[in-house]
């Protein structure tokens, strides 16, 4: 019995493409999208790639070249990207009953049962439809394992004649394809493994496919062994159409400038904690374990590096923000050392559990119903009138010292009435 055909649909240059949808004059121009805090390059249009801009390039080091080539630069606009992502995914859902949303710009589709339509033709139709309904260009790779579908997707992008669709279900085509892929470009092979594999003389995906799985396992553990199996057409990573429960929630940000003062850092931490609480409640969850971390700028040549983290188990699982703020603050005080130039802080909530049980009845005389109503009301106000409309005093009231930089954000075209795109009828 054949395993199901999997298609990996990947949006091309997703963030850059999102910017283009509502600003068509950007078509054909080099675009870069920056990370939070306008720190580094995280998305590039084809034109920018051709100019030699690299993923992860620090923005401040690229500025010269950006100016020189007239590249258009955007701060990241996650509200827009998230919304465009949902549009793409729901479009894809009309082509298959079973789909796994793998990331903001990628989905695996189960195409079993659609073979009679001709896989290449069907994929081409998916591609056309997504483009027409959302304005986002996608590439599609098909194979019998996720790892091979990833390879196929890569080839769909790299092979101009493929028209954005690459079928790797034909076993006789696989080896030729794998010979064209560097081992470091295989999904799951990162820097460490690339270094080791190369030293072993394994430089292409095909060589990795043919390597002795036991030998690979000795260095790359079961993950590496599975990878070799997947390259050999043995499916180990199955389609997960049901989103598994979240294991942790992290909120962290770099500060817009250095902070040295505990109170100021705590204001940032309180803001992050509020956000983490919102995420918890939105997912119907409570957390029983919390980690807080701080760090200075790891790239600085003038200031010494310092970073630390500390965790604690909470006396009871909670999603009540005042509880979270209290414990986060206690932990921050434990790791804060005066005298450093801090650049970032954050928290992680772990050991998440569903909030449907009344677990805290035994602990104290607190009125949980009232607490939950309070959080619900706060959440509703902050959704309706904007984030942090209602906030905790510990967050500070003036413009916070830690505010991130985002100088070049585009409009929230899809989620804000005041920022809708305008169309003009021409002659």
- Binding residues for DNA, per CB under 7 A? 35-37, 39-40, 42, 56, 58-61, 102-106, 150, 186-194, 221-223, 244, 246-254, 258, 279, 289, 291, 297, 299-300, 309, 311, 313, 343-344, 346, 351, 404
| Phi/psi of residue 312, nearest 5 degrees | -155, 150
Provide the 10 A C-beta neighbour count for residue 332.
22
Q: How far is the CB of 184 from DNA (least distance, A)?
A: 8
Residues 6+ apart with CB under 8 A from 139: 9, 10, 12, 127, 153, 156, 157, 164, 165, 166
Tokens coding 205 = 């995906």
SS3 state of residue 339: coil
User: Rounded to the nearest whole angstrom, what is the least distance from the CB of residue 132 to DNA in the complex?
Assistant: 23
Looking up tokens 């085509």, which residue turns up? 173
Q: Which is nearer to DNA, 105 or 323 (CB)?
A: 105
Q: For the residues of 214-242, what is the DSSP string, one character each? A: HHHHHHHHHHHHHHHHHHTT---S----S
Question: 72 pairs with which residues across the strands?
Answer: 31
Dist. CA 219–CA 211, nearest whole Å: 13
How far apart (Å, rounded) are the C-alpha atoms in residues 371 and 44? 45
- Minimum CB distance to DNA smaller for 311 or for 416: 311
Whether 106 sits among the annotated catalytic residues: the reply is yes
**Which candidate in 19, 47, 106, 267 is catalytic?**
106
Question: For DNA, which is the closer residue by CB, 170 or 240?
Answer: 240
Minimum CB separation of residue 53 from DNA in Å reads: 14
Distance CA 269, CA 256 (A): 14
Taking the complex as a whole, how short is the minimal distance between the CB of residue 293 and DNA, in angstroms?
Answer: 10
Nearer to DNA, 260 or 300 (CB): 300
Q: Give the nearer residue to DNA in terms of CB position, either 122 or 259.
A: 259
Which are the catalytic amino acids? 106
């Amino acid at each position: 019995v054949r395993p199901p055909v999997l298609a990996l649909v990947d949006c091309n240059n997703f963030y850059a493409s999102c910017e283009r949808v509502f600003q068509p004059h950007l078509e054909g121009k080099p675009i870069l999208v920056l990370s939070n805090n306008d720190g580094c390059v995280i998305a590039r249009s084809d034109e920018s790639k051709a100019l030699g801009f690299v993923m992860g390039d620090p923005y401040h080091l690229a500025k010269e070249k950006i100016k020189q080539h007239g590249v258009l630069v955007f701060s990241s606009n996650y509200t827009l990207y998230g919304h465009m992502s949902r549009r793409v995914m729901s479009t894809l859902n009309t082509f298959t009953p079973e789909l796994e949303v793998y990331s903001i710009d990628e989905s695996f589709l189960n195409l079993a049962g659609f073979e009679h339509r001709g896989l290449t033709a069907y994929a081409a139709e998916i591609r056309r439809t997504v483009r027409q309904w959302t304005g986002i260009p996608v590439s599609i790779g098909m194979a019998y394992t996720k790892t091979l579908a990833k390879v196929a997707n890569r080839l769909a992008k790299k092979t101009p004649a493929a028209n954005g669709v690459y079928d790797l279900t034909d076993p006789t085509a696989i080896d030729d394809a794998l010979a064209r892929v560097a081992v470091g470009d295989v999904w799951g092979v990162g820097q460490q493994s690339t270094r080791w594999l190369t030293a072993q003389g394994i430089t292409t995906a095909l060589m990795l496919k043919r390597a002795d799985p036991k030998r690979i396992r000795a260095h790359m553990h079961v993950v590496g062994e599975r990878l070799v199996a997947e390259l050999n057409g043995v499916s180990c990573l199955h389609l997960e159409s049901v989103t598994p429960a979240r294991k942790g929630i992290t909120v962290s940000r770099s500060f817009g400038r250095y902070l040295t003062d505990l109170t100021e850092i705590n204001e940032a931490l309180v803001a992050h904690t509020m956000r983490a609480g919102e995420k918890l409640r939105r997912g119907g969850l409570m957390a029983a374990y919390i980690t807080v971390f701080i760090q200075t700028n790891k790239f600085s040549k003038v200031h010494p590096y310092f970073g630390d983290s500390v965790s604690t188990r909470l006396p009871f699982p909670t999603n009540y923000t005042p509880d979270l703020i209290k414990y986060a603050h206690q932990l921050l005080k434990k790791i804060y050392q005066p005298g450093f130039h801090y650049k970032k802080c954050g928290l992680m909530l772990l050991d998440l559990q569903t909030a449907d049980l009344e677990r805290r009845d035994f602990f104290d005389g607190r009125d949980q119903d009232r607490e939950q109503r309070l959080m619900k009301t706060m959440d509703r106000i902050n959704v309706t009138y904007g984030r942090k409309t209602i906030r905790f005093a510990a967050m500070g009231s003036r413009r916070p010292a830690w505010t991130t930089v985002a100088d070049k954000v585009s409009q929230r075209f899809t989620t804000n009435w005041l920022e809708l795109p305008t169309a003009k009828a021409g002659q």
